[in-house]
Structure 1
Amino acid sequence: MAKAFNRRARNTLFGIYILQAATAVGTFLIALPVFVLLGYESVLTLSTIAAILQFIPILGPSVLLVVIAVFHLAADEIVRALLVLGVGGFFVAWLPDILIRPRLARRTANLSGGVYFIGFVGGLLSMGAIGVIAGPLVVALVVEAASLLSEELNAVPVEEPRDS
């Protein structure tokens, strides 16, 4: 049983880190054309910053988009500020999380997207930033415990032959 928990914890942690990295790469790849279409010159820099910010729970690339929008507002460019918040918010901040995380959660962490989401949000709300990792890990260990218990309870005992 301890080996099963160790294996599940190791695989889940590895999966979470791979999931984070894949989401960051996806964010970078999506952000490149978005920043080009929005007319920015430093698209590689902005896309890289967006990808790095993907490692910050909940806020992520939204921080970058808000900073850019504030600069546009300060320059009295209201339409550009709204565009960067709307278009950038959808494609750069939201879309990578929706497209990549649920699909890879099953493959990398061996958790369904819904269970991963529950662990992610529950961990974040109960433990803060560390909960982004600890939440899905705890959920994965509970799933493993339930699986082990189910196997134990469903084991059919072998009856010994009776002497007549």
Structure 2
Amino acid sequence: MVTAVFALMPLIGTSAIYIPMALYYLVVQDFLRVAALLILGTIFLNIFPENILRPALAKAGAAIHPAVTLLAFAAPIFVIGVMGVVVGPALYGFILAAYRTRLSIMKEEAGVVAKPEAQKKNPTESSQGRSLLGRRAGGFISWLSRGRL
């Protein structure tokens, strides 16, 4: 449980748990446990979650190519160092959201150009028929557009 809490901290991470344990076993001269903690802790608590598990989970949610996801998580660490652990995924998420927003806008514009009569029927709906505003605000704007003011 304590390791899970420390795993949420980007700079400290799980090594704040297994390195002090390894130091304790080094003091009591149990070298087999020191080696096991350092090797297994590094593999299963640092390398696997950060380089394999996290990009796989991000890819599943983002529906984007795994190479791009891996590059977004690994490249910032090499380029700007430790801050890349925080900046990389945040920048990746921002760029992905901006790209999807732009793609949505382009699809919306293509739908409006292709069907101008749909825009005249109800100015508060998108080209897919979804309401862009709440029900009351949409009704009020439709009422205003019919010239009832």
User: TM-score w.r.t. structure 2 length?
Assistant: 0.52
Q: Does 1:79 align with 2:32?
A: yes
Report the 3-state secondary structure (helix = DSSP H, G, I; strand = E; otherwise coil) of the residue aligned with 1:100.
helix
Structure 1: runs of 5 or more not aligned:
1-47, 159-164
Counterparts of 1:61 and 1:127 in 2: how far apart (Å)? Answer: 15
Return the alpha-carbon distance in structure 1 between the equivalents of residues 67 and 92 of structure 2. 11
Correspondences of 1:111-122 after superposition (within 5 Å): 111-122=64-75
Aligned mates of 2:3, 2:49 — CA distance in 1: 11
Runs of 4+ in 1 over 6 A off after TM superposition: 148-152
Aligned equivalents of 2:47, 2:81: Cα separation in 1: 23
* Distance in 2 separating the partners of 1:86 and 1:111: 32
Residue in structure 2 matched with residue 31 of structure 1 by the alignment: none
1:134 equivalenced with 2:94 (yes/no)? no
- How many residues are paired up? 109
The answer to whether 1:70 aligns with 2:23 is yes
Shift in Å at residue 117 of structure 1? Answer: 3.1
* Residue equivalent to 2:45: 92
1:67/1:88 Cα in 2 relative to 1: closer, same or farther (>3 Å)? same
* Offset, 1:130: 4.1
Amino acid at match of 2:58: A
Higher RCO (CA < 8 A, seq sep 6+):
1
Deviations 1:63-100 (A, max 9, x none): 32211111111222222111100122222332233442
Distance in 1 separating the partners of 2:6 and 2:15: 8
8 Å CA contact retained: 1:122, 1:135: no
Tell me: CA distance 1:63–1:114, structure 2 relative to 1, closer, same or farther (3 Å). farther
When the two chains are superposed, the root-mean-square deviation of aligned CA atoms in Å is 3.6
What is the Cα deviation at residue 120 of structure 1?
3.1
Q: Is the 8 A contact 2:51 2:70 kept in 1?
A: no
Mark the CA change 1:106 to 1:113 in structure 2 (over 3 Å): closer, same or farther.
Answer: same
Q: Distance in 2 between matches of 1:146 and 1:126?
A: 30
1:23 is matched with: none
Q: TM-score, normalised by structure 1?
A: 0.48
Identify if the C-alpha distance between structure 1 residues 126 and 138 changes in structure 2 by more than 3 Å, giving closer, same or farther: farther
Aligned-pair identity (%): 19
Unaligned runs of 5+ in 2: 115-149
Q: Give the letter aligned to residue 56 of structure 1.
A: M
Q: What is aligned with 1:61? A: 14
